[in-house]
Structure formats: C-alpha cells, structure tokens
Structure 1
Amino acid sequence: MLDQIFRNMQPVVKNLLIINVLMLVAQYAIPWVNDNLALYPFQSEAFRPWQLVTHFFMHSTQSITHLLFNMFALVMFGSHLERVWGHERFLLFYFVSALGAALLHGLVVYLRVESLVATMNPEVVDYVFQNGSELFARGSNYIDPDMGVLNGMLNTPMVGASGAVFGILAGFAYLFPNTELMLMFPPIPIKAKWFVLGYAAIELYLGFANNPYDNVAHFAHLGGALFGFILVYYWQKKKDRFY
C-alpha cells in the first residue's frame, strides 16, 4: 500500500517529502543544522535571513509525529493540488504559504518581544540580549519571570512545514469545499471547508491564549493558511476573468 502511494505521488510532493526526511536525519546527525537553519526571532542574535527558507524543511527532533503529520497532509492534500495546478505553480504555492507563515509568526513574536521590553529596565534587557543565549543553550534560564520569558522568546527557534501544510489545507478547502474528509477522532465525516475553518478557529484561539507551556507556533499555521488562501483566491479570480 505504501509502495503504491509513493509511486502515485506527484513529483514535487515526492521531492518535498524526501527533502524533509533527509533534513530530519541531518538534524539528528549534525548539531550545526539545528543551530543555524532553524528560524530564530528577528531580534535574536542567532537570526539569519536564510532561516526564513531553511526552517520549513526541518522538524522537531523531540517527536517524530511532527514530521509524520505534516508529510501525511502534504501527500494526501498536496498531491491533489499539484495535479490541478501543475508542478511549478504548486511549488510556488508551497513556498508562498511557508514564507507567509514565517512572516506572520515573526511579526507576532517581534511585537511580543517589543511589548515586554518596553516594561523592563533597559540595562536588564541589554544583559539578556548579550548573555541569555549561552544560559539557554545550557538548558537553564533566568529566575526573574520577565527575563526568563524574554530570553525564552529570543532563543526559541521555529521549525516545521506546518505553515506550508496549512496553506495546502486552505487551498484544498477553497477548490474542493464540499469534499468529505474522515476525522480520526472522532471518526466522523466533515466537509473540507468546515474542517479548515474549524481548525483555523482553534489555532486563532490558541494563538491569542499564548500559553507559555504551548510550544506550537499557532500564528505560523494561520499565516500559512492566510497567504495560501489569498494566492489561490487571486489565481481563481484571474482565471475567471479569462474564462
């Protein structure tokens, strides 16, 4: 069955799957990959421009399910979109969704950092910026709550193709809104449009809840869905003008 699924994959989806798997192997084997290719906040000393692209080929090394769920969605939904749009357009859509996710996530983190910094002593802020990364790398953090939160935000990178996947989900729901999907829990059918809207609503709530123990980049998911929706909406309207 798996062999049949792999043979029937569209070429861009297949290559993206292979790249993501190889990158996870590299993350386990080469520590440099995690330190330099994951996406750090824009204000962080560790931020590099190329991370805007490299991070969405990486996944969490703490749980293999992060990769599995993203690749499952890529194969199941991305293959349909690649058949409809063709290889080049689908790849463009994938990158736009992933970059849109990174930009919205980066903007939200930037605003949260600036909001916190505005309430802190400037000397304390400078101290965290200059010394916090070494402390965080040792698995420690500041006892002071504000210093600890600031240090955590500055030195916690983001990885994952989830933003691109949410763009794919949004694109699929736009093109095939009434296609029925079978949920795993509970095992009931639901139309694609309601599934994606419901999922987005949950992500929006969790994003604004900003639970300090929640390590999921909810606004990255929303950014991917938003940019993906805008692009597919534009393409469809442009198509309608010609036909």
Structure 2
Amino acid sequence: MFSFTPAVRTLLLVNVLVYFLTSSVREEVIDQFALHSLLSQQFNIIQLITHMFMHGNFSHLFSNMLGLLVFGPLLEKTWGASRFLTFYLLTGLGAAALYLAVNYYETAGLVQAFETYRANPTNGEFIGFINGYASSIYDNIEPFIQKFDADPENPAYIEGGRKILTAYVATQVNTPMVGASGAIFGVLMAFGLLFPNTQLFLLFPPIPIKAKYLVGAYALWEIYTGVYRAQADGVAHFAHIGGMLFAYIIIKVWESQRKTFY
C-alpha cells in the first residue's frame, strides 16, 4: 500500500492542481512559468521553481507522481517533512542548473553558427548548417533542398532557406522544459543510497531488483541517452542526471555532518 506522508501528499496535490489549472489556460501563459534557455528572451529566474510543478501531459504527470509516491514516503519518514521538502527543491534546482548549463553550451554553438549563416545565406552555407545542426529536419525539407540545389542563386530559395533556419533556431532557443523529473530522479537516487538492498519489483520485466541496481541502471541509461540521444526525443536527460548528481552531493554533505545519518 502507498503511504501518503504529509510532504509527499502536499507535493502530489500541488502538482495535480497546477496540471489541471495550466491545461485550461493559453500556451502564452504557460510559457511564462516553464523553464526557458538562458539565451531565450523568455527566461525568468522564477522559472527555476515554477517549472518543477508543471507537466506536459497526463502521462508525464502520472509517471513523476508515481515515482514520488513510491520512493518519497520512506525518505520523508527518515528525514522528516521539512528536510524532505528541502531536499526535493534543492535537487530540482540542481537538475535545472545542469540542464541550463548543457543547453547553453549546445544552443550557443547553434546560435553562433546561425549568425555566421545569416551573414552569408548561400546554398552551401544552408546545407552546411542543416548537416551540422539541424539534421533532424532534413527529411521534411528535402524537396526544398533539391530545388535550392538546382537553382542556388534564386532569391526566393535563398529567402526560403533563411526563413526555415530562422524558425528552426527560434524553436530550439525558445522551447521550454517542464516537469518534476529532476527532483524525482533525486528522490530515486536518495532511496538507492539510503536503502540500497531494498527489494523492488519491476512491472516490465516482472522481476525483483535491489534499489542500488535500479538506481545504477537508471543513471547509466540517462548518461548514455543524454550524450547520444536523438535531438527529437523531447526528454531533458541532463535534468535527470542533474537531479541524481545533486542528490548524491546533498546526501554526502548531510551524512558528513552527523555520525548517525539514518
């Protein structure tokens, strides 16, 4: 049976309430509170907190809240509600920080390459940008590329290429990140560190596994997919990694401050 401890119950209620509230408002309103890139004009410091309580769809909300409900209560009983909430928010912030840092590194290169292209929007520069930074849209615009290749001096095609890449870069810079996943992965890491030999029963495949092995597998998978992921998978893998990393750091710091941690 699930245990609804006070802090876990509060987080569940807030996340569910925010989901249903935001599902009935305009996208422009949601954009104000979702986490944007540091390079986006829509970035606001308050988004570091607000994005943690927003979700893109019901399955996103359900999976995160299920993780909180499964792993959170035992941590809260161990630490108390106040420390658990502190941990939850800190790992969420840490996840956002790593996500923003990696996003800035990736997006800054994209923006710089786009500025170089805009200074000389030729067919060659257009194809070079697509191959280097936008291969995920190649198939969708292949007919245009063929026409541009056949008539590279045509002003209409040059302008068309500029519009395509302008829209693509704007999407990359301004697409926000939402969700409690960073904090949830922090909770998962904490559970694996504090209760490493607890047996968990997976649904797929239906086998038992110790918490430490599940956490390790998740960490390795997120690192792999974060480095080698497809650009179009739509998952903030480095936010997950950030949540786990900051959870590890926080627990080790707390552990060093007392002789008996749990």
Matched, 1:35 2:54: no
Matched, 1:72 2:91: no
Compared CA separation, residues 10 and 202, structure 1 to 2 (3 A): same
Match of 2:50 among 51, 54, 61: 54
How much has 1:93 moved relative to structure 2?
A: 0.1
Aligned counterpart, 2:98: 104
How much has 1:185 moved relative to structure 2?
A: 0.8
How much has 1:147 moved relative to structure 2?
A: 4.2
Matched, 1:152 2:171: yes
AA of the residue aligned to 2:183: A
List per-residue Cα deviations over 1:136-167 (Å, max 9, x = no partner): xxxxx985675454322211100000000000
Aligned counterpart, 2:14: 19
How much has 1:233 moved relative to structure 2?
A: 1.4
Describe the SS at the equivalent of 1:167. Answer: helix
Matches within 5 A, 1:217-228: 217-228=236-247
Contact 1:116 1:146 in 2 (8 A): no
**What is the alpha-carbon distance in structure 2 between the residues aligned to residue 36 and residue 242 of structure 1?**
40
How much has 1:239 moved relative to structure 2?
A: 1.5
Describe the SS at the equivalent of 1:239. Answer: coil
How much has 1:35 moved relative to structure 2?
A: 1.8
Q: What runs of 5+ residues in structure 1 fail to find an aligned partner?
A: 126-140
**What is the alpha-carbon distance in structure 1 between the residues aligned to residue 105 and residue 4 of structure 2?**
40
**What is the alpha-carbon distance in structure 1 between the residues aligned to residue 166 and residue 247 of structure 2?**
36
AA of the residue aligned to 1:105: Y
Contact 1:19 1:57 in 2 (8 A): yes
Aligned counterpart, 1:131: none
Count of equivalent residues? 221
Contact 1:100 1:223 in 2 (8 A): yes
**What is the alpha-carbon distance in structure 2 between the residues aligned to residue 151 and residue 208 of structure 1?**
23
Deviates more, 1:24-33 or 1:203-212: 24-33
Matched, 1:230 2:249: yes
AA of the residue aligned to 2:55: H
**What is the alpha-carbon distance in structure 2 between the residues aligned to residue 33 and residue 45 of structure 1?**
15
Compared CA separation, residues 242 and 86, structure 1 to 2 (3 A): closer
AA of the residue aligned to 1:23: V
**What is the alpha-carbon distance in structure 1 between the residues aligned to residue 161 and residue 245 of structure 2?**
38
Match of 1:192 among 201, 205, 211: 211
Compared CA separation, residues 242 and 104, structure 1 to 2 (3 A): closer
Aligned counterpart, 1:93: 87
Contact 2:255 2:261 in 1 (8 A): no
TM-score when normalising by structure 1: 0.84
**What is the alpha-carbon distance in structure 1 between the residues aligned to residue 261 and residue 64 of structure 2?**
35
**What is the alpha-carbon distance in structure 1 between the residues aligned to residue 255 and residue 44 of structure 2?**
35
AA of the residue aligned to 1:108: V
AA of the residue aligned to 2:64: N
How much has 1:117 moved relative to structure 2?
A: 2.5
Matches within 5 A, 1:99-178: 99-121=93-115, 124=118, 147-178=166-197
Q: What runs of 5+ residues in structure 2 fail to find an aligned partner?
A: 120-140, 142-159
TM-score when normalising by structure 2: 0.78
List per-residue Cα deviations over 1:170-223 (Å, max 9, x = no partner): 100000011111111111111111111111111111111131221000000000
Compared CA separation, residues 203 and 37, structure 1 to 2 (3 A): same
